[in-house]
Amino acid sequence: MMDFITIPLVIGIITLGIYKLFELYARKKERLLMIDKLGDKLDPSYLNGSLPMPSQIVGQFSFGALKAGALMVGVGLGLLVGFLILNASLPAIEMFNTGNYRELGSVVFGSSVLLFGGLGLLIAFIVETRINKKS
C-alpha cells in the first residue's frame, strides 16, 4: 500500500545516522581541543574550593526518567484497559453485526492510550512539584 515511501525513508534514516555519527566525532574533537586550550590557561589557585560538592547539588534533580517512566506506565495501562474494554464489548458488537471491529478497536485503544498517558504525565508533574516544594 505505501511501498513507494519505504525506500526514500530507509535511505533518509541511514543518511541521517551517518551524518550524526560524523558530527558526534567532530564535536568530540572540538571539545577536547577546547579543554586542552582552557587547561593551559587555568590555574588551580583560581578555584579556591569553589567547586560544589555532591552534597550541595542534591536539590538539582532531573525528572526526565520520572516523566518517561510515568508515560510508559500510562501507555501500558491504556493498552491494557483498551484491550479489556474491547474484549468485554466484543460479544455485544457481534450481536448487532456492525462490522466495524477495526475502527472501534482503534478508537478504544487510541483513546485509552492517550488518556492514561496523559494521566501518567500529570502524576509525574504532581510528584515533581511536591519534591520541588520540599527542597
The reported pLDDT for the residue numbered 124 is 86
Q: Say if residue 27's pLDDT is above 70.
A: yes
CA separation, residue 3 to residues 11, 15, 74 (Å): 14, 19, 33
Is pLDDT above 90 for 98?
no
Q: What is the mean pLDDT of the chain?
A: 78
Q: What is the pLDDT of residue 13?
A: 92
From 122, 117, 121, select the one nearest 78 (Cα to Cα): 117
As a whole number of Å, the end-to-end CA separation of the chain is 55
Global confidence as pTM: 0.48
Mean pLDDT on 65-75: 85
Residue 62 grid coordinates: 532531573
- Hey, what amino acid is at 44? P
Q: What is the predicted pLDDT for the residue at 54? A: 54
Q: Among 35, 12, 16, which Cα is nearest to 24's? A: 16
Dihedral of alpha carbons 5, 6, 7, 13, sign: positive
Segment 38-52, tens digit of pLDDT: 777 766 666 666 655
Does residue 3 carry a pLDDT above 60? yes
The residue extents of the domains of the chain are 3-46, 64-134
* Cβ atoms of residues 59 and 135 within 8 Å: yes
- Provide the pLDDT confidence category of residue 92 given band limits of 50, 70 and 90: low
**DSSP secondary structure letters along 56-90:** TSTT----HHHHHHHHHHHHHHHHHHHHHHHHHHH
* Number of helical (H) and strand (E) elements in the chain, helices listed first: 3, 0
Sorted by sequence, the CB contacts under 8 Å of residue 63 that are 6+ apart come out as 124, 128, 131
